[in-house]
């Protein structure tokens, strides 16, 4: 059993940053714009992090183009231009259809090759125990990443269920190690780890990892986050994921400042060398949050319900946002209770992308219609068909009456046929030039072609405008005038500093 409690080993804890990707997803529902990234990326690079995760995947691309109306390729280039010293990590989300209805390997390779080059990323992480990844994706995905000279960091996703014992995770780790990863991530998307659970789980994983570094990625949903991080450091975990306030705490990750403090208390040195740069990031993001009326992360009160509904930190903020758009924000508690019932119906699937999004969506529909499964989402039928995995998706343990209802739905036959075709397409290498020609984009740039493909056409692309910028504080008077100009009732402003006197009037 690998166990390395206490200090004196001469080791250093390595902190990584996930503010821009998971912090923004957890608290701001991915509403982090080009200008927001641009305002803080360089300072994050100065801090001394082991790595910085950047939001460069098809999910972010769709959101940035559709809702922020910004060019995601321009956002990607910010990371290459501003983050030059720190290793950058991108996530492969294991959902090939995020790029299109179904996807050939050539398009997946092209997209992630472009994403890596445009962002300068050199580390590749992917979920390792959902949707049969080890059998379905790893045999070609890992070689693809190796060809791109990327480090490989599979994520072992934790979730509590009768099946997910230490032996289960030890066996999973052994299977992953056959692919010779550069690091492993223990990913606790729901913030469901406890001190008692990690005391046996982390050593079981590290024993099978045989010296390969293990990173801890845990959210704050249960309020046990800080204690779990301390316990992991005492057990010898090599790396910890953190965020900078205001995108820390709440359903997000532990604050880098809190993590550094606790490492100091434990007597464990760390890799952060420029705290002043992080304070600048905190100040700028806090100012942006207030300006744009975005949430500021604060520690949560203990809610035992998170161990029942298990909704990940990166999903809960989007759920609240979507319920508000549907006009039923006041029914959040009803939706959470319905999520618990659906988890039981589906045989306790892992609550992580994409299952968590599917389940909360079906729960919202059930509550909105006032009847359970009156309207069945296609993703529920696909789950019963095994489209999204088998054991981790809960299929063998799904309640028979629920499974029968899904599989007897009028849409089941067409969805089963589509899944069969999708498997065939995913197994193909594909022809990018043929697809490009079918769109009439033979002379388009790779970026134009790929964005057109991701967005299923150019109707939303045509709505993309120039990015909004934010002052970094170097010109406070300019910022003041810019903000005051929004108030049409102010026609005159007088400013005095020492013997200097300024008089501004609205024309």
Could you read off the pLDDT of 324-337 as tens digits, one per residue?
888 888 999 999 99
**Based on the domain organization, do 338 and 198 belong to the same domain?**
no
- Name the packing angle between helices 400-407 and 378-385 (round to 10°): 110
Maximum Cα–Cα distance for the chain, whole Å?
A: 82
Average pLDDT over residues 165-175: 94
More reliable by pLDDT, 181 or 106:
181
Q: How many Cβ atoms are within 10 Å of 202's Cβ, its own excluded?
A: 24
Residue with tokens 């480090």, as numbered in its chain: 151
Q: pLDDT band at residue 8, thresholds of 50, 70 and 90?
A: very low
The yes-or-no verdict on residue 497 having pLDDT over 60 is yes
The yes-or-no verdict on residue 395 having pLDDT over 80 is yes
- Output the pLDDT for position 481: 62
**Based on the domain organization, do 102 and 244 belong to the same domain?**
yes
Q: pLDDT band at residue 3, thresholds of 50, 70 and 90?
A: very low
Q: Mean pLDDT: which of 100-104, 380-384, 502-506 is highest?
A: 380-384
The yes-or-no verdict on residue 101 having pLDDT over 90 is no
Tell me whether residue 308 is exposed, middle or buried, using C-beta atoms within 10 angstroms of its C-beta: 0 to 12, 13 to 18, 19 or more: middle
In a domain, 494, yes or no: no
**Based on the domain organization, do 172 and 212 belong to the same domain?**
yes
- Mean pLDDT check: name the lowest of 68-77, 324-333, 358-367: 324-333
Average pLDDT over residues 269-276: 98
**Based on the domain organization, do 111 and 45 belong to the same domain?**
yes
Q: pLDDT band at residue 1, thresholds of 50, 70 and 90?
A: very low
Q: pLDDT band at residue 2, thresholds of 50, 70 and 90?
A: very low
Contact 161, 348 (CB under 8 A): yes
First CA to last CA across the chain, in angstroms? 75
Distance, CA of 93 to CA of 98 (rounded, Å): 8
Residue 56's SS3 state is coil
In a domain, 279, yes or no: yes
Instruction: State the pTM of this model.
Output: 0.84
* Domain around 227: 14-292
- Output the pLDDT for position 63: 92
**Based on the domain organization, do 286 and 319 belong to the same domain?**
no
More reliable by pLDDT, 489 or 229:
229
**Based on the domain organization, do 256 and 312 belong to the same domain?**
no
The yes-or-no verdict on residue 31 having pLDDT over 60 is yes
More reliable by pLDDT, 199 or 392:
199
Distance, CA of 55 to CA of 218 (rounded, Å): 18
Cα atoms in the Cβ-side hemisphere of radius 13 Å centred on 476: 3
Contact 110, 138 (CB under 8 A): no
66 to each of 53, 301, 323, 357, 464, how far by Cα in Å?
A: 22, 34, 19, 18, 8
Residue-averaged pLDDT of the chain = 89
**Based on the domain organization, do 238 and 332 belong to the same domain?**
no
Q: pLDDT band at residue 128, thresholds of 50, 70 and 90?
A: confident
Q: pLDDT band at residue 474, thresholds of 50, 70 and 90?
A: low
CATH number of the domain at 160, please: 3.20.20.70
Contact 148, 112 (CB under 8 A): yes
């Amino acid at each position: 059993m690998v166990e390395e409690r206490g200090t004196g080993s001469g080791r250093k804890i390595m902190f990584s940053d996930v503010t821009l990707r998971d912090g923004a997803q957890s608290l701001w529902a991915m509403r982090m714009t080009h200008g927001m990234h641009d305002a803080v990326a360089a300072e994050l690079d100065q801090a001394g992090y082991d790595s910085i995760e950047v939001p460069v995947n098809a999910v972010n691309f769709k959101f940035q183009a559709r809702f922020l109306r910004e060019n995601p390729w321009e956002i990607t280039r910010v990371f290459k231009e501003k983050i030059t010293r720190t290793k950058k990590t991108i996530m492969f989300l294991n959902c090939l259809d995020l790029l299109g209805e179904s996807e050939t390997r050539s398009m997946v390779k092209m997209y992630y090759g472009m994403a890596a080059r445009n962002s300068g990323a050199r580390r590749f992480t992917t979920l390792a125990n959902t949707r049969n990844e080890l059998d379905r994706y790893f045999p070609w995905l890992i070689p693809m990443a190796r060809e791109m000279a990327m480090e490989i960091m599979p994520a072992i996703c934790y979730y509590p269920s009768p099946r997910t014992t230490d032996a289960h995770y030890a066996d999973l780790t052994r299977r992953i190690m056959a692919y010779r990863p550069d690091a492993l991530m223990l990913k606790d998307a729901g913030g469901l780890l406890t001190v008692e659970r990690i005391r046996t789980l982390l050593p079981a994983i590290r024993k099978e990892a045989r010296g390969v570094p293990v990173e801890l990625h845990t959210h704050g949903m249960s309020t046990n986050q800080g204690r779990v991080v301390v316990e992991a450091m005492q057990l010898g975990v090599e790396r910890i994921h953190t965020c900078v306030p205001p995108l820390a705490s709440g359903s997000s990750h532990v604050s880098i400042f809190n993590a550094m403090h606790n490492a100091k208390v434990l007597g464990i040195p760390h890799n952060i060398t420029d705290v002043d740069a992080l304070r600048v990031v905190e100040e700028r993001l806090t100012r942006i949050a207030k300006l744009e009326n975005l949430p500021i992360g604060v520690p949560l009160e203990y809610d035992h319900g998170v161990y029942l509904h298990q909704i990940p930190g990166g999903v809960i903020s989007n759920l609240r946002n979507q319920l508000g758009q549907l006009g039923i924000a006041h029914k959040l508690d009803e939706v959470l209770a319905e999520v618990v019932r659906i988890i039981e119906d589906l045989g306790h699937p892992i609550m992580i992308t994409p299952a968590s999004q599917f389940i909360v969506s079906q729960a919202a529909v059930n509550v909105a219609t006032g009847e359970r499964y009156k309207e069945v989402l296609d993703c529920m039928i696909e789950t019963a068909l095994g489209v999204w995995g088998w054991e981790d998706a809960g299929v063998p343990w799904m309640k028979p009456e629920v499974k029968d209802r899904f599989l007897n739905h009028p849409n089941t036959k067409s969805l089963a046929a589509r899944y069969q075709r999708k498997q065939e397409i995913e197994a193909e290498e594909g022809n990018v030039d043929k697809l490009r020609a079918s769109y009439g984009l033979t002379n388009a740039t790779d970026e134009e072609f790929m964005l057109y493909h991701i967005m299923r056409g150019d109707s939303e692309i045509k709505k993309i405008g120039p990015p909004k910028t934010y002052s970094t504080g170097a010109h406070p008077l300019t910022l003041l005038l810019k903000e005051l100009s929004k108030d049409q009732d102010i026609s005159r402003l007088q400013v005095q500093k020492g013997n200097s006197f300024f008089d501004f009037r609205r024309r």
